[in-house]
Amino acid sequence: MNSKSQLMELTLLVSADHIFIHQCLDSYRTLQSDASPTEKNAAVEQIKHVIGKKLLEHFALEDQRVFPAFEAAYPTGNIPQIIAKLREEHDTMRGLMQPLIEMLSTPNSDPLANQNINRALIGFFIKFREHAVREDDLFAELSEMPDVTTAS
């Protein structure tokens, strides 16, 4: 069903998405700078777009294609456990997304002006970055794993 090379292609694709965190952090820095209100509004919109759309698509791609491919290719050993934990982290982050979007959609939602938003955003960024590092580590290990191409 999934050859190792197909799986590696998929992991490269989703790994590239992890740059989202850097885009969010750039926008967050804009909010902390003396940028104009227009630039700050654009930064808030960018963060909302990533959290409310791009990351949801990214999680769906991993949940529906990448993780099942790993589970099918490596049903024994520690892979199923790692994947279960990554899925759990997706659920946790999905639960945080809507409240974050709502907070960012309220008027005067400059995180610097609102400690709750500030804390929630930073907490989310840290969670996502740690999660992405765990995935990147797993994807990097793939090159060392045996090729267990399954019949289609």
Binding site for Fe ion (CB under 5 A): 62, 135
Residue 40 or 62: the one with the smaller Cβ distance to Fe ion is 62
Contact 59, 12 (CB under 8 A): no
Residue 77 region, left (φ>0) first, then alpha (ψ -120 to 50), else beta? Answer: left
Nearer to Fe ion, 79 or 135 (CB): 135
Our CB check for Fe ion shows the closer of 51 and 62 to be 62
How far apart, in whole angstroms, are the C-alpha atoms of residue 73 and residue 68? 8
Q: Give 82-87 contacts, CB < 8 A, sequence gap 24+.
A: 82/134, 82/138, 85/134, 86/62, 86/131, 86/134, 86/135, 86/138, 87/63
Least distance in angstroms from the C-beta of 22 to Fe ion: 13
In the complex, the smallest distance separating the C-beta of residue 139 from Fe ion, rounded to whole angstroms, is 9
Nearer to Fe ion, 89 or 104 (CB): 89
For the CB of residue 148, give the shortest distance to Fe ion in the complex, in Å: 22
CA 99, CA 44: separation in Å to the nearest integer? 14
Min CB(114)–Fe ion separation in Å? 28
CA angle, corner 132, sides to 126 and 135, nearest 5?
145
